[in-house]
Amino acid sequence: MGLSWQQGPLSSGAIGRFLVPDPLPKRLLYVEPLRRRMRVHFGGRWIADSENVVLLFEPARYPVAYFPQGDIASDVLERLEHTTRHQDLGQTAWYAVRAGDQIAQRGAWQHTDLPAHAGELKDRIAFAWRAMDAFYEEDERIVGHAADPYHRIDIRETSRHLVVRHRDRVIADSTRPLALYESGFAPRWYVPRADIDESALTAVDARTFCPYKGVCSYYDIDDARMAAWSYPETYPEVHRVANFVSFEPDIVTVHLDDRALHLEPGQTVIPHGPDRELTVHEVQVRERP
């Protein structure tokens, strides 16, 4: 997803290649200014507020936001004895983050022995996403991880013929699906409910979260487990697929214009990095503090 995760150009599973004569290093790190105001809320107060955040992209990780020390409240960071070593960025110091009665051990870190080529991260602090109460861009909460500016979703109408079957049963038959193109993923096809035999769908007591689309619900189709999914209430940016249903082509049979679809390598979503173990409840609670 985006620049360095899933099948993005800086990820280990990239589907494209740079047209250069010599192989690039296996690990390419990239940093750039966010150019958005970002704030961190913890212990009932704003502990960081900056228009000068930079994002660090490294392979197989979501982007991480680094704040200038001067834009962090002076009384919230307590340097710990614990240190680690980043394989590319050297010695890393860790901090406890304290605000009021709330404390997050190892809630922030700083690279203290940076190589000369990584000067953009000098004197900057990153906060552990799960350890903080909330991150905001302006007055809107950002959940999951720092938003990747290279992650894009485009939704297109199509009259292509999509048929979904499980064994001999037709589950969906539509000439008006929506094609959803998302950075790092093969196209996904979303079908309106009117074109689906909904008696075949059994709701599953499981939900996941996409930072770009919202909370996802799943369905079994007979013995085909988690064979379909839907976003009953999407984020406004992708409202066109709200309550449509998409089907997993390696669990049930999906044909598009008589061509069988298959799940491409690298498409499985695995929670990783700053959003590991994010709960649906945490996502749904998006009020301002």
pLDDT digits (tens, 9 = 90+) for 212-263: 898 899 999 999 999 999 999 899 999 999 999 999 999 999 999 999 999 8
**Is residue 276 over pLDDT 90?**
no
| Domains of the chain in sequence order | 30-150 (2.170.150.40), 153-260 (2.170.150.40)
Strand partners, 259: 256
| Contact indicator for 134, 289 with CB cutoff of 8 Å | yes
* Per-residue buried b or exposed e for 31-54, using 16+ beta carbons within 10 Å of the residue's own CB: beebebebbbbbbeeebbebeebb
pLDDT digits (tens, 9 = 90+) for 1-56: 578 877 888 888 888 889 999 988 889 999 999 999 999 999 999 999 999 999 99
**Is residue 287 over pLDDT 70?**
no
pLDDT digits (tens, 9 = 90+) for 118-130: 999 999 999 998 8
| Contact indicator for 252, 201 with CB cutoff of 8 Å | no
Strand partners, 103: 98
| Contact indicator for 197, 173 with CB cutoff of 8 Å | no
**Is residue 277 over pLDDT 70?**
no
Q: How confident is the model at residue 264 (pLDDT cuts 50, 70, 90)?
A: confident
pLDDT digits (tens, 9 = 90+) for 188-214: 999 999 999 999 999 999 888 888 898
